[in-house]
Structure 1
């Protein structure tokens, strides 16, 4: 089956706690596309890239994983993010990004699944084009969404929340981190937010909680997975690697199948996605596993799961 990912590419300038600096290809949607390519999936990324050193670095990185790139407009420079890592490998971000996606005249093959998210789904003026493409394909394709909230780029809270909830309502599957939900709904229980999102339309909502593990919820089931013990190098791209593994595991599942996922299927989903994220945090940059690495890590890591109470 074919995947279409729509969203930004970003050059991540990673500054370590020791003062070292590295440049990695990044951007949440681009990372998801790259992860799917690494897992052997047929994937196209609809994005914007400038013809500059960072843009060429990112394009080579994506193409090396087998990702096809459709460019919807060329910005003056490739977007960048300064990623500062603390002593625990936790990341904070500062951005230099514009998003003006244009889709007129693009000939993107009709996909079986569309993934949207992050900056591209909420930042004007390009966000309108992202949602229009997702809505155009939704009749024949399933849709997933990851808000991947970046507070510095979200604008006023009420407007950002409305845009996020519009994307949630458009989607069949949604993944969010507990940090995303805390910014969107300060002080609310992530499980209560996830349950409310299910009422907006998605069949499955996933919540990642870093070292505290993850949750998967449908209207009938809720399952948790603990995070395996792993030496963390940095957390860049962990959530995107989780998302890629989720989409790979659910490849081909139609809306009715997603709605009917039972505890056993959700457990397998969380185990595989959690393992992918664990591999990614164990090495520098957004470097998701390929299929062989993921299978091997699944044998090596212990991920305890159960029904969430």
Structure 2
């Protein structure tokens, strides 16, 4: 409709503070998942991998800033409330008059697929933050914002700057949909993984990003180049790969699964929280972890992910 201004504008944040030391910046999408219930209806819940990570980080006690754009609708307001309630700083977040993107979940025993409604939404109206990264403890990127324009260009520019000035954490969170170009999406996600200091992939992510290899092979290669690489295997546990051909694995925490939605995001947030707490993001960085330190971080992340799987929602109170 003519006359409407769709340019993102900042979300007022009374807790905003220019001093960023010790803060983790999470950049990407806050969308709404529509999740099937037992009676056949769809239940809306705030989602988006980056928004999930930001929420978990804040609830785990890490000072966290979220950089995304929220839709000026009920879904956007609910996402904003979730982030604020968790304690996430939103002064780098924006609001647009466009609606919030939707992801219709399709759970199955093999995992959850999504059908997306992404075009002409506020969710992917991002601008790069390349000149605002100097004081951040770490920067996380990943999810759909990494591959959906115009957000994808902003995410890539920010990631390139973060790789030079901060600790960059990447979770490609590969998604397929008729609206996404698989070749360009995978190429963009591989580029982000090559930039990251911390890379977390699921075994299914690895198979799609590096077809023809075992999931472990690209993880070992990325680690040999000086990264901390995390590989999750769902119910089979997780592994960490470090330079020097160091490899450690831990089992998953047993749990009666209510939903696996958001479990990988909780895992990533828990690892980052433990690295922040231990000071591992300082000095020689996360790649300098010992096998024992990496194993402890994996165990902690497994417990947080299990708590998410044990309830019908993505948050752990």
Q: TM-score range by the shorter chain?
A: 0.7 to 0.9
Q: Show CA shifts across 1:33-91 (max 9, x none).
A: 000010121111000111100000000011000001223462611111111233x5942
Deviations 1:132-172 (CA, angstroms, capped at 9, x unpaired): 22333443311100000111178444322321121012110
Q: Which residue of 2 aligns with 1:129?
A: 154
What secondary structure does 1:139 align onto? helix
- Equivalent position SS for 2:33: strand
Alignment of 1:226-237 (within 5 A): 226-237=251-262
Within 5 A, what are the aligned runs for 1:1-309? Answer: 1-16=22-37, 18-69=39-90, 70-72=92-94, 74=96, 76-86=98-108, 88=109, 90-98=111-119, 99-103=124-128, 110-152=135-177, 155-199=180-224, 201-220=225-244, 221-251=246-276, 252=279, 253-254=281-282, 256-288=284-316
1:215 and 1:105 map into 2 onto residues whose CA distance is 32
Shift of 1:259: 2.0
Q: 1:187 offset after TM fit, Å?
A: 4.2
C-alpha distance in 2 between matches for 1:105 and 1:4: 12
Residues 23 and 149 from structure 1, CA distance in 2 versus in 1: closer, same or farther, beyond 3 angstroms?
Answer: same
* Separation (CA, whole Å) in 2 of partners of 1:274 and 1:106: 35
Mark the runs of 5 or more structure 1 residues left unpaired by the alignment. Answer: 290-309
8 A Cα contact 1:11 1:54, kept in partner: yes
Q: CA RMSD in A?
A: 2.3
Contact 2:163 2:197 in 1 (8 A): no
Task: Give the TM-score normalised by the residue count of structure 2.
Answer: 0.84
Alpha carbons of 1:107 and 1:147: their partners in 2 closer, same or farther (altered >3 Å)? closer
Distance 1:109 1:96, change over 3 A: farther
Q: Distance in 2 between matches of 1:73 and 1:59?
A: 10
Mapped to 2, the partners of 1:232 and 1:89 lie a distance apart of: 13
| Equivalences, count | 287
Q: Deviations over 1:185-231 (max 9, x none)?
A: 334211102122335x5511101111111110012210111112110
TM-score, structure 1 as length reference? 0.86
CA displacement at 1:122 relative to structure 2 = 2.0
Superposed CA offset, 1:226-285 (max 9, x none): 112110000010000000100001114236242221111111011001111000000012
Q: C-alpha distance in 1, partners of 2:152/2:171?
A: 14
24-33 vs 188-197, which moves further: 188-197
